[in-house]
Structures are given as structure tokens and as C-alpha cells.
Structure 1
Amino acid sequence: MKLWGGRFREEENKLMEDFNSSLQVDKRLYSEDIKGSIAHVNMLVKCELLTQSEGESIRKSLLSILEDIENGTLLIEGDFEDIHSFVEATLTERIGETAKKLHTARSRNDQVALDIRLYAKNKALEVIEHIEDLQHSLEQKAKANNVIMPGYTHLQRAQVVTLKHHLMAYFSMLDRDRKRIHNAIEMMNESPLGCGALAGTTHTIDREMTAEELGFSKPMNNFLDGVSDRDYLLELMSGFSIIMMHVSRLSEELILWSSQEFKFISIDDAYSTGSSIMPQKKNPDAAELIRGKTGRVYGSLTSLLTTMKGLPLAYNKDMQEDKEPFFDALDTVLSCLEIMSKMISTMKVNTENMKKAVKYGFLNATEVADYLVSKGVAFRDAHSIVGSIVIYCEDTNKPIEELTLDELKSVNPLIDEDLYDFIDYQNILNKGIKVNLLK
């Protein structure tokens, strides 16, 4: 069944029919399509564009179609152009001519705009739930592992931090991600239903009623914008890309930390794989896949931006290409957040190796410089003095805190016994300047 064709003299070419069909992509919108149609029918009855009995017949049949799809007795398949024509054809099979009145005062343009907006809003809430699950995993692992470790810049050991503080940095990133998705939901929470093809309808309808019934804050102001806006998908996909950037950075650290060179953590067997030739291997494939799939989400965003960039108002068939990249980006970010959450909650922490990395990384060198500053030495001079101490430590294979007082005084006579307390790693963390590292 086609929803058009009266002005055509010839049948559509089968190749074009297949090329034009989006059913295999947009069939996941069946629930939103049916719920949107039910709200539309309720409004048509209220506005006396359908009788009570017509509205009740259509409404009951739409609910039965929804139930049959969800219990598997009705399969979404066949030579249909899209999910909208599938639902309407099925409705026509069940109740006959009355079904043809469903589309009164509605275009497929505002129908599809409504469906994808409803779907995107619901799925965005699911993304937020997944973000919060990962935040919970990070917070629980952080609370259980308030142990010292090296903090890095340039991938070189820099200053002492705690694993708790390090993991909570990602918690903070994800908090911004959560807010971004919430903001996108707030921005998109307007109903395009009633915009028609591009210029509304000459029928007297109640757009406020359908907007309220479908959970939107208001109808969209401009009909042209209503059917051609896909900013909300771009905004969500931009948010997804930033989420993926964050979990990719975390993945990179887990990959490094689980290597034999670091041995800071061990990723659970459930989220690792082996080698077909090297029996000893345990590969961090879950983290590597997350890192790899990040580019896929970026590509989806770029794809839709490129599709939209040259389109005149209002609807153009190009916009059928909005769903596949959005669905793929959505599915990818949901699976990556779930895997990362489970990987974090099950990973084991090697606290002793982290402590060793701190000890032989000269991570209290900055505090030695600060100590000298407290004795009246200019910071630039203190910086140079401590550089000499580090060279001496490298030559003697000792950490700074294990040098004797005589060795330290030979570099600078201002150094006294109180230096050892000043540069003790736990004391460093307890100082007010870094008290947040313990929170």
C-alpha cells in the first residue's frame, strides 16, 4: 500500500521502490507512530473531524496493532515504503474504509517529525540512566580505592594523587554529559504535530491538545521549522560524541593500566579476550572496542551535519537519511556506557604497584621546591635546586625521601629534618591545597 499515487500514470519502478523504502530502518518507530496516531485521532474527535464511533474504532485497532507487534504475532515486513504506510495498511485491513480518515489534517512530514522526536526524547532519557549507572560504578570503585597513585602529564609521572580522585574526574565529565543530554531534551520538547506538510492545515485542529497528550511542553511555533528541524538529533549526537570521547579517554587509561608495564589494574575475564596463537595473552578488547567505536559515533554526527547543511526549507527526501546515523550512534553509546560500567565495577586494583610507581617517580619534587620557597628561596632557584636533587636520585637509584639529611644539605644547606614530613606523600595529600583529593 502506498500513501500516494493518484496523480501518477505509471507504476513506480521496483528498483526505485526498494531504493525509496525505509521500513527496515524506521520500523523501530512503530510504538511512537501508533501513539502519535492515537493522540491525533483523539484530537480529531474533539474537533468533530471524526465521529466518536470512528475515533473509537481507529483507536482500538491501533492499540491492537501495537499489542500484536509487541507480542510477536504481527511482524513488520513486506513491500511498504515506511513504518507509517505499514501501520496504516494494517489498520485498513482490520477496519476498512474508516482507516482512511486517520490521516485527516496530517502529513507524513509532521508525522515522521513527531515519531523521531518522541523516540529521541525517550531514548535520551535511557542514555541518562546509563550515564548514571556508569557514574555509580565509578563512585563505588573510587570509594573502595582511596589509594595513592601517580598523576600524569605528558604521560610522565607528575604529582601524587589518589585513584579515587582520578576516577572521580570521569564522574565529573559524565556529570556534564548528563546535563547536556537533559538540556537537549528540554530544547526538543515541542510538538511538530499539526504542522502538516509545511504550512499547517485548513481544518480547525487543537495542537495544544496533542502536544499535552504526547508529553510535550508546547506545539512548535513555525510550521516550516516544525517539519524540517533536525537540530535535536544533531544536539543529541553531539552529546553522544562527547560522551564517547570521555569513555574513550577512560578506555585508553584502562588499556595502559592493565598492561604489563603498568600493572595498576586487572580487567575482569568477562570483559577481556585471548589470542588464537599466544596462550599467555589477556587482551583489553572491551576497552579497545569502546575506543574504536568512538570514531563511529563521530562519523554519524558528521554524516547528518553534511546531509542537513544544504537543504532548503522545508522537508526534503534527504532527511530520510537522518535515522540510520542517529540510531547507530544511539545504539553505540548505550552499549559502550553499559560495558564500561560493568568493566569498572569488576576490575581489580593493584595498590602496591601504584605505590611503587609513586615512590620511584619523584612525585614529591614539587613539594621540595615549595619547601625551599618557605625557607626564602625564589621559586625559580628552588626549581633548579630540586632538578639537581632528582639527577642525584637517578644516579643513586633512590627516591627523594630516602636521601640522608647530609645528602640533601650537600645540595642546599637550608634543607633540614622537617623536610621529610613536608614531602611525605600522605601528608602532601592531607594538605589543604590538595584536600579535595581525599573527597
Structure 2
Amino acid sequence: MGVPETEEPTRLWGARFAGGPAEALARLSVSVQFDWRLAPYDLLASRAHARVLANAGLLDADELGKMLAALDDLESACAAGEFRPTVEDEDVHTALERGLLERLGSLGGKLRAGRSRNDQVATDLRLYLRDHARGVAVAVVELADALTEQAARNIDTPAPGMTHVQHAQPVSFGHWLLAHVQPLLRDLERLRDWDARTAISPLGSGALAGSSLPLDPAAVAKELGFSAPAPNSMDAVSDRDFVAEFLFTTALLGVHLSRLGEEVVLWTSTEFGWVELDDAFATGSSIMPQKKNADIAELARGKSGRLVGGLVAVLTMLKGLPLTYDRDMQEDKEPAFDAVDTLELLLPALAGMISTMTVRVDRLAAAAPVGFSLATEVADWLVRKGVPFRDAHEVTGKLVALCSARECELEDLTDDDLKTVSEHLDPSVREVLSVSSALAARTTPGSTGPGPVREQLATVQHKLDNWRQWAVEQVVPRH
């Protein structure tokens, strides 16, 4: 402790070079401005590596104690902002080694034995993403909770279900809201599956060939919360599948959020007027005082583009790389960090917007039968009478054409009108010409009737309880 800082900048390479790197090279190579967020994970891995070195007889007990104490002190200094990277530090690993040398002198240099920045960064990034994936999952569950709570209040609220953004058939608005929960549940499943594949420790792989030192990768993996050490040292340092897969999962999640955002934009428009946003989750106009804008929903659409872009960037970076590590891989971190930052910012805002919005039940109910949305009910009624659906479809189409010509709704037709269109139509068809009867008739699992929607709601709530528990499980050990 208390060893004075050397005047020469810390560098983890360069002994064979006569001089330092050109300024242009140094500026291009530096990554500490964005990879500094990996510092807590690098320190965590450093403790595990120090213990492995001691078990291998490469650090004695006194040296190990001093090493762990210095790492603890350095972590505290980083957390307090007392130790920060400088313009001379190339990356997070360089900065932290400088901090260790300041505290231990030459003893700090012993920690580098048996490891490389190649396996360090692969380990750090896995730790970081596994840790933050759980935070993303917590926020996804909170958004799903908000949608589910709104759905529970609107099981019996009729709405005009749509295809091609045209009125199609009446649905429960609760069913509609739950339709946005289902892809979120699949996103959570993808995160869990990704986590299982990512729980492999690269540490001990060195630069690419492993180590001739008697290290114990399995012990390191266990201490760091991984399920196993990497089975192939070359793959371990060059694998970025886990980054690409994480970015695919976040990009698809972003697409799901974008679709929800697009619907909220429509629902809150003057033309729809089905939903009103709480003032705390809407914005206004600098020139039009009457405006109330669904900015959160619009930003959900917009930010999906950067999530998709991050995935494309990493896939493009990886597609032509020979084994093993190449400096191109420095480009894996910013898209991954940006995806985490974007979702941690966006998801709580969406959850707040959904949980506080007011559903205009009257507007939805009035819109539910508009646009001949009950036409399919007539066709199904004819089928139950024994009419082939092909014929029933034709008959119902003629009914709609008649209504369109008269500018009236199906229920406005007289008994004579019905008989004129088809001999199969009689006054009893009116029993299906109501939104409530249309919804009540949907009794099959997964359909929009009140019974199936309540069953779906119970299932969703149970799943979310399980996901809530999974999302808060600690996967990265805390010091």
C-alpha cells in the first residue's frame, strides 16, 4: 500500500517495441471510456484468479492477503469515484492494473500470470450481461404486470378487434391487452435460455491456448457463478455468440415494445379516443397548447431501431473474423451496453404509462359493432343451421352489401330484408347481432370470451409470479 505512482503510463503490452504507439493509434485503440463499467466484474474475476494462483503455489498466503486487500481497496475507491481511469489508460484492465500497482508495487504485477485481456474481457462481459439481463427481466415483468392489471379491469370491455387496421370482430379489450403480455413472456423465456448458454467461464483460457501454469478454471467458474469452464480455450476467447444472442433478444423485445407503442399512439388519437394518458406520462406542444402527445409510446417505436441496429452491427462485425481474438471484437461492447441502457430507461416509462392510462370504456363499446364487425357471427349462425360455410360467407356478404348501400347496420335490416337476401335467414338471427352475444359465444381456450380471458389472466399472473422470482435471483456473486 502507498506505493507511489510511476511516471510511465501503465501498459499491458509493448516490451518488444522501441517506442510508444502513435497518437492516432492510441486514440483509436482506447476503449476505457466505455468499458470502464466492467470494472466491478473485472475486480470480481481478479479475486477469483488470485485465489487460484495461490492454490497453484504462485502466491503465498501473505501475498494473497495483500492482493485481496488491495483489490478490496481499489473496488471501494472505484465505487466512491476516488479512482478513475485516465487518458493514458487504454482500457479497463490497464486502468485497474495501474491501481493495483499503485497499492502493491511489483506484487501487483503477479496477478497477470496465467490470464490475458482476451479471457478477461470475455469473462467480464459475460458477468456484466448476465447481471444486467436480470435487471431487464425485472423491468419486463413490471410492464407485463401493468398490462395484466389493466386487462383484469377490462375483461368485459368490448372493443373492435382489427385486421389490416380495419374493424374485424368484437373482442374483449382485456384480451387485447393480454395479447401484448404473451410476447413479453416469450422474451423472458429467451432471456432465461440465453443465460443458461452464457453461464460458461472463459477465464483460464489465456490469450487462446490455455495456460501451462497449474490453474483451476473449474474453481474460478464456480466462484464467479458460472456453471462450467469453457470446453475450448480458442472458442472461449473468440466467442461472441452470447453478445449477438443477447442483442437478438433485446432487439425482438424492442420490436414488441414498438408494436405496443404504435397501438397506444392509435388508441390515444382523436380519431380513436379509446385511451387517455395520465398527464405525468404525456407531453405537450411548444406552440399548440391543446396537444397531449404519447411521447413514451413514440420513443418505444424509435428506440427499437437502435436495438435492431446494435444486433446488425455485431453480426456484421463477427461474420468474417478468423479465430481467435481480433481487435474488431472491441466493437461488441457498446451495442450491448446501449441495449441495456436503452431498455432500463424505456421499460419503466412504458410500465408507468400503461398502469396510469384511463381506458374509455364508452368509446370502445360504441366502436365495437361498427364496420359490420358482427358479420362473422351471422355466417357462423348459418353454419350452425347446416349451411356450408362457403354459402354462409356469400349470404353474409350480400347482407353487408345491402347495408352498405343503405348506409345502415346489420341490426337495422327488417325481417323482409333478411328473407330477401336468403331463405336461410329468419328473425332468430338477431340473437347473434349483439357484441355481448358475440363475446359470450367465444368459449374455446385462448379465445376472447369472458371465460377464456379469465383463464388466460390467471395463467399469466401465475407465470409472472414465477418470472418475478427468477428475475431477482442473484447470478453474479457480490463481494
| Secondary structure of the structure 2 residue equivalent to 1:149 | strand
Q: Report the counterpart of residue 233 of structure 1 in structure 2.
A: 243
Query: Does residue 1:375 correspond to 2:385, yes or no?
Result: yes
Which amino acid letter does the alignment assign opposite residue 178 of structure 2?
M
Which amino acid letter does the alignment assign opposite residue 98 of structure 1?
L
Find the aligned partners of 1:376 and 1:322 in 2 and give their Cα distance: 62
Find the aligned partners of 2:84 and 2:253 in 1 and give their Cα distance: 35
Equivalent of 1:317 in 320, 324, 327: 327
Q: Report the counterpart of residue 68 of structure 1 in structure 2.
A: 77
* 1:293-330 deviation per Cα after TM superposition (whole angstroms, max 9, x unaligned): 11111111111111111111111111111111111122
Q: Report the counterpart of residue 411 of structure 2 in structure 1.
A: 401
Identity rate, percent: 42
| TM alignment of 1:190-269, pairs within 5 A | 190-269=200-279
Deviation at 1:78, TM superposition (A): 3.5
Q: Report the counterpart of residue 462 of structure 2 in structure 1.
A: none
Alignment CA distance shift 1:10-1:75 (3 Å): closer
Find the aligned partners of 2:63 and 2:412 in 1 and give their Cα distance: 88
Deviation at 1:414, TM superposition (A): 2.8
Q: Report the counterpart of residue 472 of structure 2 in structure 1.
A: none
Which amino acid letter does the alignment assign opposite residue 36 of structure 1?
A
| TM alignment of 1:300-311, pairs within 5 A | 300-311=310-321
Equivalent of 1:92 in 78, 85, 101: 101
- Does the 8 Å contact 2:184/2:253 carry over to 1? yes
- Does the 8 Å contact 1:252/1:291 carry over to 2? yes
- Does the 8 Å contact 2:137/2:188 carry over to 1? yes
Q: Report the counterpart of residue 278 of structure 1 in structure 2.
A: 288
Deviation at 1:188, TM superposition (A): 0.9
- Does the 8 Å contact 2:123/2:201 carry over to 1? yes
Deviation at 1:32, TM superposition (A): 0.2
Alignment CA distance shift 1:141-1:12 (3 Å): same
| Secondary structure of the structure 1 residue equivalent to 2:160 | strand
Q: Unpaired segments of 5 or more residues in structure 1?
A: none
TM-score, normalised by the number of residues in structure 1: 0.97
* 1:154-210 deviation per Cα after TM superposition (whole angstroms, max 9, x unaligned): 111001111110111111111111000111100011100000000011101111110
| Secondary structure of the structure 1 residue equivalent to 2:162 | strand
Q: Report the counterpart of residue 32 of structure 1 in structure 2.
A: 41
Find the aligned partners of 1:422 and 1:289 in 2 and give their Cα distance: 42
Equivalent of 1:79 in 75, 88, 103: 88
Equivalent of 2:186 in 176, 180, 192: 176
Find the aligned partners of 2:276 and 2:413 in 1 and give their Cα distance: 33
* 1:30-82 deviation per Cα after TM superposition (whole angstroms, max 9, x unaligned): 10000000010011111211111111111111111111221233233331000
Find the aligned partners of 2:153 and 2:86 in 1 and give their Cα distance: 51
Equivalent of 2:121 in 100, 112, 117: 112
Deviation at 1:266, TM superposition (A): 1.2
Further displaced range: 137-146 or 336-345:
336-345
Equivalent of 2:372 in 362, 369, 382: 362
- Does the 8 Å contact 2:204/2:210 carry over to 1? yes
Find the aligned partners of 1:145 and 1:319 in 2 and give their Cα distance: 49
| Secondary structure of the structure 2 residue equivalent to 1:102 | helix
Which amino acid letter does the alignment assign opposite residue 126 of structure 1?
G
Q: Which protein, 1 or 2, shows the higher relative CO under an 8 Å CA cutoff with sep ≥ 6?
A: 2
- Does the 8 Å contact 1:272/1:286 carry over to 2? yes
- Does the 8 Å contact 2:160/2:368 carry over to 1? yes
Deviation at 1:214, TM superposition (A): 0.2
Aligned pairs, number: 439
Q: Report the counterpart of residue 5 of structure 2 in structure 1.
A: none
Query: Does residue 1:51 correspond to 2:60, yes or no?
Result: yes
Q: Report the counterpart of residue 128 of structure 1 in structure 2.
A: 137
Find the aligned partners of 1:4 and 1:376 in 2 and give their Cα distance: 83
TM-score, normalised by the number of residues in structure 2: 0.89
| Secondary structure of the structure 1 residue equivalent to 2:171 | strand
* 1:7-46 deviation per Cα after TM superposition (whole angstroms, max 9, x unaligned): 1111212222122110001000010000000010011111
- Does the 8 Å contact 1:267/1:346 carry over to 2? yes
Find the aligned partners of 1:145 and 1:402 in 2 and give their Cα distance: 28
- Does the 8 Å contact 2:119/2:203 carry over to 1? yes
Q: Report the counterpart of residue 147 of structure 2 in structure 1.
A: 138
Q: Report the counterpart of residue 159 of structure 1 in structure 2.
A: 169
| Secondary structure of the structure 2 residue equivalent to 1:401 | helix
Deviation at 1:437, TM superposition (A): 4.0
Q: Report the counterpart of residue 426 of structure 1 in structure 2.
A: 436
Find the aligned partners of 1:246 and 1:392 in 2 and give their Cα distance: 40
Deviation at 1:221, TM superposition (A): 0.3
Q: Report the counterpart of residue 148 of structure 1 in structure 2.
A: 158
- Does the 8 Å contact 2:83/2:99 carry over to 1? no
Which amino acid letter does the alignment assign opposite residue 75 of structure 1?
R
Further displaced range: 95-104 or 403-412:
403-412
| Secondary structure of the structure 2 residue equivalent to 1:58 | helix
Query: Does residue 1:391 correspond to 2:401, yes or no?
Result: yes
- Does the 8 Å contact 2:167/2:370 carry over to 1? no
Deviation at 1:438, TM superposition (A): 4.9
- Does the 8 Å contact 2:170/2:369 carry over to 1? no
Deviation at 1:409, TM superposition (A): 2.7
| Secondary structure of the structure 2 residue equivalent to 1:418 | helix
Q: Unpaired segments of 5 or more residues in structure 2?
A: 1-9, 456-479
